[in-house]
Structure 1
């Protein structure tokens, strides 16, 4: 029997000591109350720090060095399909709109690994490896490229790579399994871009910069992508070089960003001509590494890596404001949370 009013979430974790996590965890959400319930683990895997779903498949990887066995894993419910990753410490992945390719961003080695997918979505082989030299002024964090995110655009055959190490966002045109660099957007020196989200029209992008703790708006023009605006994530607050996740509400009115140093989630109104900061909420724990909004738009779930907990917030779809539900659940070292494509079955 399927539980009415319940959602299921998959949680990527770090499993290396001192964490007691064993792989991809599962959590249920009561949509009426916000109660979070720990479910049975989904799949055992070392350091599955990021995951995505497509159709009935789940994709993850082991965030370790290539020498220690970095691998891409595709789960189809009964079987696990694994391929080695030619890179160090993979941290993000994405699937192309035509379902032909899967890209992996490797933070440690700075390259992006591209895999072909069969008609069922199972990875077949590596078909491209993208690497661009670069560095930034932050001597502790930017001595080499650090690919932190990959995004396939939905309206045209383009792969976007966000590189924290070289303060760059790169656009690659895709044609016949060839990925050609078409534009590099230079971000402010030392900003350390981490993740971005596009609007549905894909003529605007919102970039969270980890090191400068700023939100940067990119606008697509006839001359390509350009920086349009830059605002602080937390006006007047002490900075800690630790901004992390970013999400755009489904109605494209609000952007949310988690700030790990300050342990808060910041909210911006983005429907006007300029982005405006409107509020912040305590993350309910330490080091909010990731969060997600539910498909219904009514809840926001935060994964706090250092306090080992997930916390739920009721979201006002009109004002964008968040209200803590009072519920949380324990998961060791949670670093990614995604709503599962199948509801919680009890």
Structure 2
């Protein structure tokens, strides 16, 4: 009886160990959204080594049509993804993240009420915000702690056009993001040359104002400094970064500086894409995508924002190995920056000098068809 019990316990222990592998502390899971008109099939996950910068164990985490943007609510172990569709009503999907394996389990899905949903973010643990590019509106969807969507869905239709007729013939909401306090939500509309401001007060959402951009700017993505004292906007069409400070109500509506990423002669050959602060808030990074072989420039621009009272200072850029950088992300350690190169079908890795902000390519990459979003868990 004693031998039987010991053998049984040993087999149980071995089985549990096989089913629940422990990820080394220096390796973190990250998720990749893709376009699925090629060989990619949906959302992928991989491991990133925060010491060496190497990527390993790529796996398909969830089959989904065009999961072009993802967001993660780490506290509740939830991932939410858009399924971008141009000609029909889009949906968003929620998944539970397994705490050890990182595998995804589908929890719920809901129609967004718009077309070509391209961005999703968490306003707080019970509310998600989405931007619908083709239909030119934003929606707010209640969200339970269990990862299920609730009703009603609140939608705000944008209005306006811009002078770049092939891109600004109608409103095109491109991103939506709440400030660190969750009091105000900002929606960048590329087609209308506006940033719409929404206010959240006791679960009621209402339009709170409009920030007008220079005609033809094409607002695309937003970012907030880790200290919560600055907002940065990247304009896709005129390749500018604009910083904002808070007004007397606490909303980021005061424009403080404008930085030009490209000369006017290169505007039509490129599209700016993504923007992020470094974890320490000292540097700001922005990506530019080439769409013309002659005047196109694929790069990540580096700006020093240590002095929040001064304009961001351009201190360098990195072009090596970068091809149509639609999205990028800085790893949790702050030591590396990963770029989703849509057209070269590669995720490339760059070591980040935390004193100067400069990027250096390292011998690490991941092949994957049309990667367009990176989110660390």
TM-score higher than 0.5 here?
yes
Q: Which residue of 2 aligns with 1:12?
A: 33
Q: Which residue of 1 aligns with 2:369?
A: 332
Q: Indicate conservation of the 8 Å contact 1:72/1:84, yes or no.
A: yes
| Distance of 2:355 and 2:152 partners within structure 1 | 44
Q: Which residue of 1 aligns with 2:357?
A: 320
Q: Which residue of 1 aligns with 2:7?
A: none
Matched, 1:227 2:255: yes
Normalising by the residue count of structure 2, what TM-score does the alignment of the two structures yield? Answer: 0.85
Q: Indicate conservation of the 8 Å contact 2:324/2:342, yes or no.
A: yes
| Distance of 1:220 and 1:197 partners within structure 2 | 14
- Measure how far apart 1:193 and its partner are: 0.8
- Measure how far apart 1:178 and its partner are: 3.0
- Measure how far apart 1:325 and its partner are: 0.7
Higher helix share: 2
Residue 238 of structure 1: SS of its match in structure 2? helix
Q: In the alignment, which of 67, 82, 97 is matched to residue 61 of structure 1?
A: 82
Q: Indicate conservation of the 8 Å contact 2:259/2:311, yes or no.
A: no
Q: Per the alignment, do residues 26 and 129 of structure 1 end up closer, same or farther by CA in structure 2, a change over 3 Å counting?
A: same
Q: In the alignment, which of 188, 202, 207 is matched to residue 214 of structure 2?
A: 188
1:288-317: CA deviations, max 9, x gaps? 111000111001000000000000011111
| Distance of 1:12 and 1:205 partners within structure 2 | 25
| Distance of 1:264 and 1:206 partners within structure 2 | 18
Matched, 1:32 2:51: yes
Q: Number of aligned pairs? A: 336
Q: Indicate conservation of the 8 Å contact 1:102/1:123, yes or no.
A: no
Q: Which runs of 5+ in 1 are unaligned?
A: 341-346
| Distance of 1:126 and 1:275 partners within structure 2 | 41
- Measure how far apart 1:104 and its partner are: 0.8
Query: Higher relative CO (CA 8 A, sep ≥ 6), structure 1 or 2?
Result: 1
Matched, 1:52 2:53: no
Matched, 1:119 2:145: yes
Residue 115 of structure 2: SS of its match in structure 1? coil
Q: In the alignment, which of 82, 86, 89 is matched to residue 116 of structure 2?
A: 89
Q: Which runs of 5+ in 2 are unaligned?
A: 1-21, 97-103, 291-296
Aligned runs of 1:67-146 on 2, under 5 Å? Answer: 67=88, 70-76=90-96, 77-97=104-124, 99-146=125-172
Q: Per the alignment, do residues 32 and 119 of structure 1 end up closer, same or farther by CA in structure 2, a change over 3 Å counting?
A: closer
| Distance of 1:151 and 1:66 partners within structure 2 | 25
1:170-224: CA deviations, max 9, x gaps? 1111234432211211011100010111224544211111000111112223386
Residue 296 of structure 1: SS of its match in structure 2? coil
Residue 79 of structure 1: SS of its match in structure 2? strand
Residue 250 of structure 1: SS of its match in structure 2? coil
- Measure how far apart 1:237 and its partner are: 7.4
1:115-154: CA deviations, max 9, x gaps? 1112334222343101121111111100111111111223
Q: Per the alignment, do residues 2 and 38 of structure 1 end up closer, same or farther by CA in structure 2, a change over 3 Å counting?
A: closer
Q: Which residue of 1 aligns with 2:286?
A: 257
Matched, 1:3 2:24: yes
Structure showing greater radius of gyration is 2
- Measure how far apart 1:96 and its partner are: 1.6
Name whichever of 216-225 and 73-82 sits farther off: 216-225
Normalising by the residue count of structure 1, what TM-score does the alignment of the two structures yield? Answer: 0.92
- Measure how far apart 1:168 and its partner are: 0.6
| Distance of 1:330 and 1:238 partners within structure 2 | 30
Matched, 1:247 2:276: yes
Q: Which residue of 2 aligns with 1:267?
A: 302
| Distance of 2:323 and 2:160 partners within structure 1 | 32
Q: In the alignment, which of 2, 18, 21 is matched to residue 40 of structure 2?
A: 21
Q: Indicate conservation of the 8 Å contact 2:258/2:311, yes or no.
A: no
Q: Indicate conservation of the 8 Å contact 2:72/2:79, yes or no.
A: yes
Q: Indicate conservation of the 8 Å contact 1:29/1:37, yes or no.
A: yes
- Measure how far apart 1:251 and its partner are: 1.4
